[in-house]
Structure 1
Amino acid sequence: MTLQINITPNGRMSLPADVRKRLGLTDGGVIYLDETEDGVVLRTANQAVARAQELAKRYTGENPDASVDAFLNRRREDSGE
């Protein structure tokens, strides 16, 4: 779906109500903007987290020692906590 979004002179833009509703942004929220070679991509916080997790899996695979919890446990052990 392609939508035209107008940007005001001070840089504000509005997402249509039906889009906000589908994305769970009816009470406001945060959108992350990624500038890519192809253009601009907007993601909700949940979409941004899912994307980050997908990218992390590409580099860590299913290695259990690559989790944040494993990293923090190793740091605690190294520091004697």
Structure 2
Amino acid sequence: MAFVTDVKLAANGRMLLPQSVREAMGITGETRLIVTVDGPEVRLSPITGVVSKLQALYREHATQDADTDAFLDERRIDSSETQDATA
């Protein structure tokens, strides 16, 4: 559901997110939001939704089970290959 509404920004920088917006976003109670600034536009996203999207992307692109040490070893190899190529 897309809609447009206006909010008032107080002198101290605070604003009230209208109930209709919170309901449309599925926000109840105290919620942490990700604020994305793109030029003059601001996007608010509940952090749980962002984490879920990132987890889905990881599952989609992960090709093998790897632990942290294996990941760091791969990054070190990539880094040394990049440094060798620029030297």
Q: 1:54 to 1:34 in 2, by over 3 A?
A: farther
Can you list the C-alpha shifts for 1:8-42, whole angstroms capped at 9, x where unaligned?
A: 11111111112223433331211110112472111
Runs of at least 5 residues in structure 1 that lack an aligned partner in the other structure = 76-81
Question: Which protein is bigger by CA-based radius of gyration?
Answer: 2
Q: Aligned with 1:64: secondary structure?
A: coil
Q: Scaled by the length of structure 1, what TM-score is found?
A: 0.60
Contact kept? 1:17, 1:26, Cα under 8 Å: no
Q: Scaled by the length of structure 2, what TM-score is found?
A: 0.57
1:79 matched residue in structure 2: none
> Paired residues, what number?
69
Runs of at least 5 residues in structure 2 that lack an aligned partner in the other structure = 72-87
Partners of 2:37 and 2:58 lie apart in 1 by 20
2:46 matched residue in structure 1: 44
Runs of 4+ in 1 over 4 A off after TM superposition: 54-57
Partners of 1:55 and 1:35 lie apart in 2 by 22
Partners of 2:40 and 2:49 lie apart in 1 by 19
